[in-house]
Chains A and B, each alone.
Chain A
Amino acid sequence: LEAKFDDSTIFKKIIDSFKDSVTQINFVCSESGIEAQAIDDSRVLLVTVSIPPSCFESYRCDRPTTIGVYLASLAKLLKSANTNSSLTLYVADKPDELLLLFEEPKNQKSMEYKLKLVDITADMLEVDSDMKSDVTVEMSSVEFTKTVRDLTQLSDSFTVSVTKDGIVFSVQGDTAQGKVLLQPREDLADESNNLSISMSKTIDLSFASKYLLDIIKAASISNKIFLKFSDDTPALFEFKMEKGGGVGFYLAPKYDD
């Protein structure tokens, strides 16, 4: 594998977006790009990552390779990333380490790190990425982040309901309750503020607040978030990158006992 990002912060943002959700991950590299999925220890949150060749300045993968890494270690190395440096990932044919080369030609500087790869045996879940959903919402990731931060302070359960009137996020705590209603809007001046809902039926789902606080860490990937809900199934929260690919989170709902 030899894969070069023209801006090293792209890879840093991707890794930082889920390094607190899961501890380790297998990146599966092929000529169609880098794909990964990892499930958290509690088996409630699944992260999917897709970095297609279009995200790279140059991308070459001669034979399919799996790269297992501890995310905390990789994240440490990526602290060196900045918008002036490129980053090339190299893995040899017999992979036991990942080489990261940061280059800043303007400053006549280069940095090289090596990360030992780990053999990860993890269960993979068969997730249908074309999964049909009853409700799809596209909204500002900034708005979503603020709503999650504000409401999750009040309760460890977070409810999402969607009707033809809009999307309602609500929490019911012991001493306080809160509700945020967002209705579809079209902001011609700033398209990232748009909110659109397409639905075939209403939904009403509850999730554990702590996972939503993990998910919003990925908001730096995109100024938009796509939400997909169906009754009584995991929800998908997806951040798509400008150049293709992105990071998605499948989150299992809570149910009333």
Chain B
Amino acid sequence: KSKQRKLTDFFPVD
């Protein structure tokens, strides 16, 4: 089963 990752896992939030 695959899970969706989020962009905030990779890029810092300003």
Contact = CB atoms under 8 A, between A and B. Distances in A.
Contacts of A39: 7
A254 B11 contact: no
Contacts of A126: 11-14
Given A124-B13, A125-B13, A255 B6 contact: no
A45 B5 CA distance: 10
Contacts of A257: 1-3
Q: How large is the interface on A (under 10, 10 to 19, 20 to 34, 35 or more residues)?
A: 20 to 34
Given A43-B8, A125-B7, A125-B8, A254 B13 contact: no
Contacts of B6: 42-44, 252
A206 B11 CA distance: 19
A227 to B, nearest CB: 17
A125 B14 contact: yes
A233 B9 CA distance: 9
Given A44-B4, A255-B5, A256-B2, A123 B10 contact: no
Contacts of A252: 4-7, 9-10
Interface in A1-52: 39, 42-46
Given A157-B2, A257-B1, A257-B2, A233 B10 contact: yes
B14 A43 contact: no
B7 A46 contact: yes
A234 interface: yes
A253 B11 contact: no
Contacts of B14: 123-126
A22 to B, nearest CB: 12
A126 B1 CA distance: 30
Contacts of A255: 2-3, 5
Interface of B: 1-14
24 contacts: A39-B7, A42-B6, A43-B8, A46-B7, A46-B11, A123-B8, A123-B14, A124-B13, A125-B13, A125-B14, A126-B13, A126-B14, A127-B11, A157-B2, A206-B2, A250-B7, A252-B5, A254-B3, A254-B5, A255-B5, A256-B2, A256-B3, A257-B1, A257-B3
